[in-house]
Chains A and B, each alone.
Chain A
């Protein structure tokens, strides 16, 4: 490997899934077997994905570290890089730098606990990595709860996997749409989940924080309103985790834009507990 820290791995798109009209998942495989062999990551880490000619963009690794040989990323078409990424096909080459940042303390803090996941919209991507990580090692954990919501039916990502989790006896899944999100114009015919915002649905879910660890990810407003509910349900702030997102360019603590006070999201994060989050200045 080069001593150039900005040099990406070259990865081939081996599978494409359209999650929503503007959100896509790519499965990426290393073009060089020696890269694949050496590569390892942990749940919660992220990378810089590049479309050559377009530039780099930061997403989490959305697949679990328990599944080797590939990584997956899920992204929404928002700007120049994601537009160019969206226009790619199976076999095309994507650049990847990473894995960067810290990870969820699964061995240290999740083993033997009841695990509750709360996600909103595309915020399910980083959470999905942890969900599969946990489900692949299912007997190390007690109850597994998933509360997932989106604005509309159309905005639900990983629809097949939601069905899979719903069907499993060892997973308690609660899904919800924001009020009005079940209209036919969003492709919805007969919604069998809840209607309401994630924090309210979580509150009524019957989930308890005893011996529990929570993972929350979604739009900032959802996270802000969910944290007090988790506290009410009995989750300790030290056992409630989220991932911060900020604009990044280097991913390795140099370019100067992702920091929240002295907390560099790319180096000290992106994973942090609600207790740590409460210590940060309100600038994220």
Chain B
């Protein structure tokens, strides 16, 4: 197959075109000075001038609020109606650390009982990922075995060749079909600027050994280091909302007298009410207990359950934290307490 290139202008046209066809499109939008991955509408301001979006792509597959069933109540009784996942989705503009989170999320949503809301959406999704050209001090994907040019979880990887556009790498059948279906938007040549690629694995040094981190966590559930790590935490849960792998949710009813729906909503292990019993007993009452759960879940529990760390090193939680709690610093503190690097 000949080389395929996509320019910024054509990409904007393409995304708006797809959105106009009744397919859900999530792409980068500039809002109040920061870039977010959001649902694209015809009039959306798509913008590609970002290093990393503030949120991850997870919302496209795991919405923050979604109906899982609806019901009608009448004198005759209750009628419950299922929800079907009809729309397919195109996700454009995440980085390899976003795409890598999707196979990780698949594990929990497919663990024994199959959550069709995530899994069916995932099945129908086409994921177009931008290889990274920049990294900051909070990036650490390479420490977890990922790469700024990584292909895991993506259908198409777009590698920048100039300030105008990208070269496409088709990684899956879905990616190939996508390229064929929208071939008029792609071109076979584009002037290549020698300054790209600007970033490779070695520009993001490996900073800790995840195996050492896990073995320390497994033997130090009770350790004063947890309090030190979490001492600034406000329990606001911003870290979990921007995280590509945080998947905790609540189930609530939203109803009027005669009709209503049951919904699945983002929730967070860092919030104090998360584990509060009706009796007011709370197994994770303290900030540090909740932050410990977050780190423990990603670096040890997930490994025990699925043999994979539930973190891709995107650094979004550190950037979003108003209290300057930094997951990379936290994990490095653990690694150094364990005597590793």
- Across-interface contacts of B221 in A (CB, < 8 A): 261, 281-283
Residue in chain A with minimal CB distance to B268:
A256
**Is the beta-carbon distance between A6 and B251 smaller than 8 angstroms?**
yes
- Asked if B87 is at the interface (CB within 8 A of a chain A CB), the reply is no
Quick one: closest B residue to A54, CB to CB? B253
**Number of B residues whose C-beta is below 8 Å from A?**
49
Give per-residue flags for B221-242: 1 if the beta carbon is below 8 A from chain A beta carbons, else 0.
1100000000000000000000
A172 CB to closest chain B CB (Å) equals: 31
A6–B278 touching, CB < 8 Å: no
Of A182-190, A195-203, A241-249, the stretch lying at the interface with chain B is A241-249
Chain A interface size, under 10 / 10 to 19 / 20 to 34 / 35 or more: 35 or more
With the chains together, A245 CA to B283 CA distance in Å?
11
Q: Are B108 and A254 in contact, with the CB atoms below 8 A?
A: yes
Taking CB atoms, residues of chain A closer than 8 Å to B247 are 254, 256
A-B residue pair count with CB separations less than 8 angstroms: 119
Q: Give the one of A3, A55, A256, A267 with max B CB within 10 A.
A: A256
Q: Is the CB of A253 within 8 A of B262?
A: no
B108 close to A260 (CB less than 8 A) = no
Q: How far is the CA of A245 from the CA of B241 in the complex (A)?
A: 27
Nearest CB of chain B from residue A112's CB, rounded to whole Å: 32
Is A155's CB within 8 Å of the partner chain B?
no
* B307 → A minimal CB distance (Å): 12
Cβ-defined contact, A257 with B69, below 8 A: no
Q: Interface digits, A13-57 against B, CB 8 Å rule (1 contact, 0 not)?
A: 000000000000000000100000000000000000010111110
Q: Is the CB of B113 within 8 A of A7?
A: no
Q: Give Cα A4–Cα B248 distance, bound, in whole angstroms.
A: 18
Asked whether any CB of chain A lies closer than 8 Å to the CB of B305, the reply is yes
Chain A residues whose CB sits within 8 angstroms of the CB of B296 once the complex forms: 261
A249 touches B269 (CB 8 A): no
Q: Is the CB of A253 within 8 A of B283?
A: no
Contacts of A256 in B (CB 8 A): 247-249, 267, 269, 297
Partner of A246 from the list B112, B275, B297 (CB cut-off 8 Å) is: B275
Nearest CB in chain A to that of B303: its residue: A262
Q: Which residues of A contact B (CB under 8 A)?
A: 2-8, 10, 31, 50, 52-56, 76, 78-79, 82, 93, 95, 220, 245-247, 249-250, 252-257, 259-262, 267, 281-284
Show 18 residue pairs from A and B whose CB-CB distance is below 8 angstroms, ordered by the A residue: A3-B114, A3-B116, A5-B113, A5-B115, A8-B80, A50-B253, A52-B260, A53-B255, A54-B253, A55-B262, A76-B278, A220-B281, A246-B275, A253-B113, A255-B249, A261-B296, A261-B301, A282-B222
